[in-house]
Amino acid sequence: MSIDFEQLRADALEAVSAAGDSEALQALRVRYLGRKSPLKSALRGLSDLPAEERARVGRLTNEIKNDIEQAVAGRSEALEREHESELGGREWSDLTLPARRGRRGHRHPITLVEQDLDNLFRGMGYRVVEGPWVEDEWHNFDALNIPKWHPSRDSFDTLWLSDGNLMRPHTSPVQIRAMKRFGAPLRAVFPGRVFRNETLDATHEAAFNQIEGLVVDREITPGHLFHSVKAILSAILEEDVETRFRPSYFPFTEPSFECDIMRNGDWMELCGMGMVHPTVLEAGGLDAQEWTGFAFGLGIDRLAMMRYGIDDIRWFHRGDLRFLEQF
Ligand code: DAH
């Protein structure tokens, strides 16, 4: 029996320390320490050796066996640690980091513009009042000096409901509700959604948004109106806008005007307005001999389109994230 014990020890220790995973290590354990390993056969053959040889080989074999067992145990631990730190690298959480924010939504461009308008008007002493989307015929038409036979009724493309009510085609009926509720003097704006049976195109939607203004006090004149509208539009568009007031017609105002603003060398129609018709003041429960007022109405969608450079009003309701995420 001629085993080179030192060579065996060196080979075994080297192989064990290089074992790449626990399976390889297990195979080495079998090879060097298992029943058929050279060490085990050496131990089995001890009894055949002369006594003095037997002691020496016995000691040496045991020593090598212990060395290899230790090396295997050490390597096994090292592999375990490697595995853990690899897992840890993936699952590590640094508790000192600030909490990650959840994915939050954000406001729609129409809402952004409407909120700016609300704040602007509040700063000028207006109260912000909302009215119902489903309106009755009286508030929407009769109280605004548009009786049943009046031709301008047709111009609103009203969506009627089967119960005789309607989806409001403008925010003007809120004028009546506000006068009844708050009396005079009054300074208020009424933002909100309006509905029309429109043929849709780049500038027409079946649902869009207006903001209506109403000021009631003693001895209000068109001068107050012109100045206020110019100041308001300048504030909204953040520049000293050039305005043009043209005579126009609305049943609920007398006289009535249309305000255009200068945009890129062109006049652009933006806002209807006028001095509140005495019939409308009376419908709001006010004495038209004592009170006077002005009113105006403008489209929020159009303002938002101007502010953000949006070329088609239909983007607002498409729900397309590529559009919405830009705001
Ligand atoms: N209600 C009108 C519309 O929707 C806009 C309007 C015009 C409102 C003149 C007013 C006003 O308050 O005085 O077309």
Q: How many domains is the chain partitioned into structurally?
A: 2
Q: Is the CB of 170 under 6 A from ligand 1?
A: yes
pLDDT surpasses 70 at 58: yes
**Residue 73 shares a structural domain with residue 116:** no
**Residue 161 shares a structural domain with residue 272:** yes
What pTM value is reported for the model? 0.70
- Give backbone dihedrals phi and psi of 64, rounded to 5 degrees, phi first: -65, -40
**Residue 205 shares a structural domain with residue 293:** yes
Give a yes or no: residue 104 inside a domain: no
pLDDT in tens, 126-163: 999 999 999 999 999 999 999 999 888 888 999 999 99
Protein residue with least CA distance to atom 4, ligand 1: 170
Give a yes or no: residue 98 inside a domain: no
Q: Is the CB of 296 under 6 A from ligand 1?
A: yes
The pLDDT value given to residue 44 = 86
Q: Is the CB of 250 under 6 A from ligand 1?
A: yes
**Residue 146 shares a structural domain with residue 72:** no
C-alpha distances in Å from residue 300, one per residue of 241, 297, 313: 17, 10, 11
The pLDDT value given to residue 301 = 94
pLDDT in tens, 252-300: 999 999 999 998 899 989 999 999 999 999 999 999 999 999 999 999 9
Task: For residues 326 and 321, give the distance between their C-alpha atoms in angstroms, rounded to a whole number.
Answer: 8
Q: Is the CB of 178 under 6 A from ligand 1?
A: no
Protein residue with least CA distance to atom 7, ligand 1: 272
Other beta carbons less than 10 A from residue 161's beta carbon:
12
Give a yes or no: residue 96 inside a domain: no
* DSSP code per residue over 14-81: HHHHH--SHHHHHHHHHHHHSTTSHHHHHHHGGGGS-HHHHHHHHHHHHHHHHHHHHHHHHHHHHHHH
Q: Confidence band (pLDDT; 50, 70, 90) for 43? A: confident
**Residue 286 shares a structural domain with residue 163:** yes
Q: Is the CB of 209 under 6 A from ligand 1?
A: no
In the numeric block, the tokens 């090879």 are attached to 31
Angle between helices 51-91 and 5-18 (to 10 degrees): 10
The domain in which residue 24 lies consists of 5-90
Which segment, 39-48, 99-108, 269-278, is predicted with the most confidence on average?
269-278
